[in-house]
Structure 1
Amino acid sequence: MENIPQTCEVLVVGAGPAGSACAQILARTGLDVLLVDEHDFPRDKVCGDGLIPDALAALRRLGVYEEVLARAQRVSHVACIGSRGGRVDVPGTLAVLPRRELDMILCTAARRAGARWLAPARFEAPLLDGERVVGARLQVGGQALEVSARWVVLATGARAQALIASGLCERHTPSGVALRAHVRHASLAQRLHAMEVVWHRRLRGGYGWIFPGPDGVFNIGTGLLGSHQADAQGHGHKQPMNLRRLFDDFCEVYAPARELMAGGQIVGDIKGAPLRCSLTGARWSRPGMLACGEAAGSTYAFTGEGIGKAMETGLLAAQALQSQQPESLTDAQVRQRYEESLRALHPRFALYEKANRVNNYPWLADLVIWRAQRSPAILKRLSGVLEERTNPGHLLSVRGLMKLLVASQ
């Protein structure tokens, strides 16, 4: 295969937010980085498309904040809506941009920084020297290509195949699933300006959302956390819940969703995708390889938000690999750096896992919304969840719930 790179210092597999962030930072330092993806770009990606403050902070670090915001739909608040119709608007610095555009911006920035690019190139398996990963076998144009690398960063998303092939998978089944559509509705775009998240007893176990995007195109979808149960070997089965039925139920119980789907123009396909949450389900590293993004479980349970934390794990992987003399870093040092940085994030993920009880018991959302309507202090705490100054696990602990019931709080 002429003119196709076959060696590099760092091979980054997957050009979503995690992989592109990692590739850009490493390329900035002068390392020879090869970024590959199984799809040509731009390409579609199933996601809610919402950019909350942690994502915006990462975009600033990557130098693309202004470029993203110039294309995105800016949003001033998240509307939390309960089963009984209660609503509270939580202020925040937010935006919505389809992943097709966001990921293209991030991938282009990595290439602009000096990362080489190869697509479509599908990851098949790591190359091994004993137990150490020393590259990867790819499929390019129907032919096998072996790329040698000092390090491989696996940023292949929530699907388990690459993790299994790499010996990193601990949970074959996902943490959850989501279904979304892009729908253009010019009239509704004049009236619906918030990122709306809806809990309802008909959606128990999950939630629905409508996010206003650029050009009058909305992202509408439903997410279901805890959709699969795993056994001790990491295998499991899907819970008896039809995701498309959940989507239809959302449209039945929430009038704006019904109006959007009945009178709007669907743009592209209605698609579903798995979620891997809470930094669980996979080993984060092995000699010669780091896993980041959703491959490492970077999505939050409870909210299903993953773009910001995917970029953050990609930045942490790059930080662990950075050195003026990369060959001087031992496997143990790199892996220790990286895994310690992820362990530092783990308590926050664990509390989001606890907060996931709202999805299983929608009446909790009704309680929080009711109190936030009457208490500026609680509304401020909800805003703090968006800004990552307040943890939702604390808000929804037994002690936190007791406080919600105290009128003076």
Structure 2
Amino acid sequence: MAPEPADCEVLVVGAGPAGSACAQMLARAGLDVLLVDRQDFPREKVCGDGLIPDAQCALARLGVLDAVLARATTASHVACVAPRGWRVEVPANLAVLPRRELDEIVRRAAVEAGARWFAPARFEAPLADAAGRVAGARLRLADGTVIGLRTRWTVLATGAAAPPLLAADMCGRRAPSGVALRGYVRNEAVAGRSRQLEVVWHRALRRGYGWIFPCGAGVFNIGVGLLHGPAGIEPDLNLRELFATFTSMHAPARELMQGGCLQGELKGAPLRCSLEGVCWSRPGLLVAGEAAGSTYSFTGEGIGKALETGMLAAEAIAGAGTAGDAAVGRHYEAALKALKPRFAAYEHANRVNNHPWIADLVIWRAQRSPGILRRLSGVLDESYNPGQLVTARGLLRLLLPVS
């Protein structure tokens, strides 16, 4: 049995992309870092597993992109399918790697950089000093033992689940921004002719979307996602029913499921989007990754920005020197606020999910316009503001000739 973890300079709770990226950067800076997670690794994680350009850029900064791409399935296009069945192939630099493998690569890189690792250990609550500053955390170990660790800084990178945020008094909104359900299906017959990612909108998906992403070796990640609309998440939503709808109404999904073998169970998870619904910092503690709302609305993509927020948290802590808590908090919050316009653009573009006729219009026009196709490609590499597609002016421009 591994010895109990010891006190450290920085405790990073959660070894997903944000936590492991943060731990690696802090270890590189020479700090004594302890990285913990409630599960041992490798472990499953509900996700579409897609790696778009921002994720690949962040992985390159961490020095692990080559290792990731060596195991990933790469693709040059994502097929966008409209409710009326129109289809357009959007060029992009894409890859797919199951989170079980991706997260282990990033976690291992943090350990190789010098971070200490301990799991399983579940975050129970922060420890506070006499002034109310977070000075460590209580962790529950696998045998039920609860220990207290003293640390100068704690980084909470625990994902979208509300309980850790509530325990740390950082949760501004319990309800998630969205939900998703995914499964892995092996179908060798389909693998030979389906090599690109596919995203599908349809009215029957109730303001949501479906996806099919190739993972290699005849395995596909197939799932459905639903992001909040004006009225929030429908209280009677049944994700399994939504998944069944997708795999019956969309012919490629139907073929994949009917001729394939489900690998394990269908699994669902909440999503936190748009850097909203949570406090980002308090003295002695920073919140990063999906716990901070690092997933984009509209696309549901979150790996790249989770990695980025983890690195921003590390930079704020490592660069503070003797400047104190207030300077660290200001530095980190300013960095996240600088990202807010991007998140706001994707939040605005979520109208496509709420009004599927917009997807019909955009995809119909993209079939006929290289200019609009370039805009859609720019949505994926962040060179084009997706919110501009759904403004009144943007929709009007879709009706006009574009070269």
TM-score by length of 2: 0.97
Structure 1 residue corresponding to 2:375, chosen from 381, 393, 401: 381
Structure 1 pair 43–8 and aligned structure 2 pair: CA distance change class (3 A): same
8 Å CA contact 2:229–2:354 kept in 1: the answer is no
Once the 2 structures are TM-superposed, how far is the Cα of residue 407 of structure 1 from its aligned partner?
Answer: 2.6
Once the 2 structures are TM-superposed, how far is the Cα of residue 243 of structure 1 from its aligned partner?
Answer: 1.1
8 Å CA contact 1:50–1:97 kept in 2: the answer is yes
8 Å CA contact 2:274–2:340 kept in 1: the answer is yes
Give matches, 1:76-155, under 5 Å: 76-129=76-129, 130-140=131-141, 141-155=143-157
Once the 2 structures are TM-superposed, how far is the Cα of residue 371 of structure 1 from its aligned partner?
Answer: 0.7
8 Å CA contact 1:175–1:227 kept in 2: the answer is no
Once the 2 structures are TM-superposed, how far is the Cα of residue 227 of structure 1 from its aligned partner?
Answer: 7.3
Answering whether residue 267 of structure 2 is matched by residue 271 of structure 1, we say yes
Partner residue in 1 for 2:280: 284
Once the 2 structures are TM-superposed, how far is the Cα of residue 5 of structure 1 from its aligned partner?
Answer: 2.5
For residues 172-224 of structure 1, the C-alpha deviation after alignment (integer angstroms, 9 at most, x for no partner) is 01010000000111111111111100000101311000000121110000001
8 Å CA contact 1:176–1:227 kept in 2: the answer is no
Partner residue in 2 for 1:39: 39
8 Å CA contact 1:228–1:238 kept in 2: the answer is no
Structure 2 residue corresponding to 1:247, chosen from 223, 243, 246: 243
Partner residue in 2 for 1:319: 315
The count of corresponding residues between Structure 1 and Structure 2 is 401
8 Å CA contact 1:173–1:228 kept in 2: the answer is no
Give matches, 1:337-356, under 5 Å: 337-356=331-350
Partner residue in 1 for 2:182: 180
Once the 2 structures are TM-superposed, how far is the Cα of residue 375 of structure 1 from its aligned partner?
Answer: 0.7
Partner residue in 2 for 1:19: 19
TM-score by length of 1: 0.96
Gaps of 5+ in 1: 231-236
- The DSSP-based 3-state class of the residue aligned with 1:303 is coil
8 Å CA contact 2:177–2:273 kept in 1: the answer is yes
Answering whether residue 260 of structure 2 is matched by residue 259 of structure 1, we say no
Once the 2 structures are TM-superposed, how far is the Cα of residue 263 of structure 1 from its aligned partner?
Answer: 1.1
Q: Which amino acid aligns with 1:186?
A: E
For residues 58-103 of structure 1, the C-alpha deviation after alignment (integer angstroms, 9 at most, x for no partner) is 0000000000000000011110000111011010110000000000
Partner residue in 1 for 2:306: 310
**Distance in 2, Cα, partners of 1:13 & 1:214:** 31
Once the 2 structures are TM-superposed, how far is the Cα of residue 238 of structure 1 from its aligned partner?
Answer: 5.0
Partner residue in 2 for 1:163: 165
Q: Which amino acid aligns with 1:198?
A: V
Q: Which amino acid aligns with 1:310?
A: A
Q: Which amino acid aligns with 1:317?
A: A
Structure 2 residue corresponding to 1:360, chosen from 332, 354, 379: 354
Structure 1 pair 2–348 and aligned structure 2 pair: CA distance change class (3 A): closer
Q: Which amino acid aligns with 2:207?
A: G
CA RMSD across the alignment: 1.4
Partner residue in 2 for 1:233: none
**Distance in 1, Cα, partners of 2:402 & 2:31:** 57
For residues 227-252 of structure 1, the C-alpha deviation after alignment (integer angstroms, 9 at most, x for no partner) is 7967xxxxxx8532211111111111
Structure 1 pair 263–309 and aligned structure 2 pair: CA distance change class (3 A): same
Structure 1 pair 166–203 and aligned structure 2 pair: CA distance change class (3 A): same
Partner residue in 1 for 2:53: 53
Q: Which amino acid aligns with 1:42?
A: P
**Distance in 1, Cα, partners of 2:258 & 2:122:** 38
Structure 1 pair 126–229 and aligned structure 2 pair: CA distance change class (3 A): farther
**Distance in 2, Cα, partners of 1:320 & 1:206:** 36
**Distance in 1, Cα, partners of 2:68 & 2:2:** 35
Structure 1 residue corresponding to 2:220, chosen from 218, 221, 245: 218
8 Å CA contact 1:176–1:228 kept in 2: the answer is no
**Distance in 2, Cα, partners of 1:281 & 1:348:** 17
- The DSSP-based 3-state class of the residue aligned with 1:48 is coil
**Distance in 2, Cα, partners of 1:213 & 1:26:** 32
- The DSSP-based 3-state class of the residue aligned with 1:131 is coil
**Distance in 2, Cα, partners of 1:229 & 1:21:** 35
**Distance in 1, Cα, partners of 2:150 & 2:229:** 38
